[in-house]
């Protein structure tokens, strides 16, 4: 197969930006296999990730070239022909669009339009492809990476859908034959339900160069005291970028205050307070502080009364939730679509302790 465009080294390059748990690493490996085994190209794929835990940043790199050229480098992809963004919460927190040029096709998992996304990404130029991968994955009972794979095939303009489907069927089918149908549906829907728009580099936003070294801290540029100010740390107090699109919703009327959620939650999200239950003094579950929630949904699994249910974060992202004001929280306690009344409490005991000068 002939590649439609290549860089000065003869490579067609793809970069995937994601967080651990969304399957970008596997998606990268599958694209590597697609190039080498199915498209007759020389192909390389590798990923870069830290502690291999859910929610931590992951990058996957794929290089393709004609079989007459050797792939002699294994450095990160700086100016990708295709950039896949698995999670829109990363926008503004990491320079995920660094190195994008007018020739880049940017695929993003979002329910928003390409115009909205250009503004949010402050994208210099290029073609934006939007696909609601989370919704499709939930409906098709597949994973986000399969939907993004289909969207990449569509955006490329040269990767045949049937070849992509064959590769998925053969790869997944070896180990999990029962998952083939749903995964293929995810790939096909990603291909067919992606919407796109091209934006010229009109000077509205600046080009951002890819400079890995800028993101590193050393003795001369680390914050005072060596604190970690990035999202997810105790300083920024925001785990939203670690979530995969799901949040637990709390239906207080069903809660029996058993405390199983609190015992299970690894991040102290539940706020129990002295109160009254069935006419007796008790510690009462008064809600969740989403600042600390990483969306693992373990609490949903253990709740014996279904007082906790899984929700699509996008459908419950009223910014007023995140205002630390009791009156506003009271206004937003009713959510008719699920019957859940989850909110961000203004009085997280972790915060109180911080304000009081730390845990004593
Ligand atoms: S596990 Fe369910 S019922 Fe028990 S305290 Fe938590 S939300 Fe309430
Ligand atoms: S999903 Fe539930 S268990 Fe997981 S971090 Fe959030 S509140 Fe805790």
How do residues 46-71 score in pLDDT, each as one tens digit? 988 766 566 677 889 999 999 899 99
Q: 288 in ligand 1 pocket by Cβ < 6 Å? A: no
Average pLDDT over residues 326-353: 41
Terminal-to-terminal C-alpha distance of the chain: 66
120 within 8 A of 201, measured Cβ to Cβ:
no
**Structure letter (DSSP) for residue 217:** -
Q: 342 in ligand 1 pocket by Cβ < 6 Å? A: no
Q: What tokens appear for 85 in the block?
A: 């963004």
Q: Report the DSSP beta bridge partners of residue 62.
A: 14, 45
Q: What is the pLDDT of residue 55?
A: 65
Q: What tokens appear for 264 in the block?
A: 């299970």
Q: Which pLDDT band holds residue 325 (cuts at 50, 70, 90)?
A: very low
Residues with a CB atom less than 6 Å from ligand 2: 248, 264-265, 267, 269, 288, 293-299
Q: What tokens appear for 169 in the block?
A: 């069927």
For residue 243, report the distance from its CA to the centre of ligand 2, in Å. 10
- Composition of the chain by helix, strand, coil, percent to 5: 35, 20, 45
Q: What is the pLDDT of residue 236?
A: 55
Average pLDDT over residues 18-28: 87
For residue 221, report the distance from its CA to the centre of ligand 1, in Å. 45
Q: Which of 73, 103, 117, 94 is nearest to 210 (CA)?
A: 94
Q: Which pLDDT band holds residue 131 (cuts at 50, 70, 90)?
A: very high
For residue 18, report the distance from its CA to the centre of ligand 2, in Å. 20
Task: Give the angle subtended at the CA of 338 by the CAs of 332 and 344, to the nearest 5°.
Answer: 35
Q: What is the pLDDT of residue 233?
A: 57
Residue 327: pLDDT over 60: no
305 within 8 A of 125, measured Cβ to Cβ:
no
Q: Which of 313, 288, 291 is nearest to 237 (CA)?
A: 291
Q: What is the pLDDT of residue 72?
A: 86
Q: What tokens appear for 310 in the block?
A: 């899984």
Helix (H, G, I), strand (E, B) or coil at 358: coil
Q: Report the DSSP beta bridge partners of residue 326.
A: none
How many Cβ atoms sit within 10 Å of the Cβ of residue 175?
A: 7
Q: Which of 47-51, 85-89, 318-322 has the highest mean pLDDT?
A: 85-89
Helix (H, G, I), strand (E, B) or coil at 323: coil
CA 349 to CA 360: how far, in whole Å? 13
Question: Which atom of ligand 2 has the smallest separation from the CA of 270?
Answer: 7
- Cα atoms in the Cβ-side hemisphere of radius 13 Å centred on 43: 19
37 within 8 A of 3, measured Cβ to Cβ:
no
Average pLDDT over residues 23-31: 92
Q: Which pLDDT band holds residue 34 (cuts at 50, 70, 90)?
A: very high
Q: What is the pLDDT of residue 10?
A: 92
State pLDDT tens for residues 201-227. 888 888 888 875 455 667 777 767 766
Residue 180's H or E segment, with its range, is helix 180-192
CA 58 to CA 22: how far, in whole Å? 9
List strand residue ranges (DSSP E) for the chain, in order.
12-19, 42-49, 57-65, 82-85, 105-109, 126-131, 195-199, 246-250, 270-277, 280-288, 308-312
Q: What is the pLDDT of residue 353?
A: 38
Among 10-24, 167-181, 344-358, the range scoring the smallest mean pLDDT is 344-358
Q: Which residue has the tokens 């203004």?
A: 346
Pocket probe mutation, ligand 1, options 283, 305, 306, 342, max atoms within 8 Å of Cβ: 305
Q: Report the DSSP beta bridge partners of residue 109.
A: 131
Residue 181: pLDDT over 60: yes
How many Cβ atoms sit within 10 Å of the Cβ of residue 42?
A: 17
Q: Which pLDDT band holds residue 249 (cuts at 50, 70, 90)?
A: confident
Q: What is the pLDDT of residue 212?
A: 59
All residues at 6 or more sequence positions from 166 whose CB lies less than 8 Å from its CB, including other chains: 38
Q: What is the pLDDT of residue 217?
A: 66
Among 84-88, 166-170, 291-295, the range scoring the smallest mean pLDDT is 291-295
């Amino acid at each position: 197969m002939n590649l439609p465009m290549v860089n000065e080294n003869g490579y067609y390059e793809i970069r995937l930006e994601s967080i651990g748990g969304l399957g970008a690493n596997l998606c990268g490996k599958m694209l590597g296999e697609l190039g080498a085994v199915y498209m007759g190209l020389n192909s390389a794929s590798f990923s870069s990730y830290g502690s291999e835990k859910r929610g931590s940043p992951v990058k996957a790199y794929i290089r393709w070239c004609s079989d007459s050229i050797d792939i002699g480098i294994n450095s990160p992809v700086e100016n990708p022909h295709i950039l896949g963004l698995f999670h829109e919460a990363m926008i503004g927190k990491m320079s995920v669009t660094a190195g994008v040029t007018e020739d880049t096709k940017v695929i993003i998992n979002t329910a928003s339009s390409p115009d909205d996304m250009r503004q949010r990404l402050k994208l210099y130029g290029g073609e934006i492809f939007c696909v609601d991968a989370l919704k499709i994955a939930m409906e098709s009972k597949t994973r986000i990476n399969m939907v993004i794979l289909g969207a990449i095939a569509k955006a490329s303009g040269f990767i045949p859908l049937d070849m992509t489907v064959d590769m998925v069927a053969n790869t997944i089918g070896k180990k999990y034959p029962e998952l083939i149908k749903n995964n293929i549906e995810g790939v096909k829907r990603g291909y067919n339900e992606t919407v796109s728009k091209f934006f010229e580099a009109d000077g509205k936003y600046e080009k951002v160069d890819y400079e890995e070294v800028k993101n590193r801290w050393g003795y001369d540029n680390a914050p005072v005291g060596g604190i970690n100010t990035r999202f997810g740390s105790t300083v920024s107090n925001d785990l939203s970028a670690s979530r995969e699109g799901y949040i637990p919703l709390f239906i207080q009327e069903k809660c029996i205050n058993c405390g199983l959620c609190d015992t299970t939650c690894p991040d102290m999200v539940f706020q129990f307070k002295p109160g009254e239950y069935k006419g007796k003094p008790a510690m009462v579950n008064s809600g969740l502080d989403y600042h600390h929630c990483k969306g693992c949904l373990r609490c949903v699994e253990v709740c014996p009364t279904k007082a906790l249910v899984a929700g699509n974060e996008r459908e419950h992202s009223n910014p007023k939730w995140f205002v630390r004001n009791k009156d506003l929280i009271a206004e937003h306690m009713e959510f008719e679509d699920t019957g859940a009344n989850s909110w961000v409490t203004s009085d997280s005991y972790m915060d109180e302790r911080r304000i009081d000068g730390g845990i004593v």
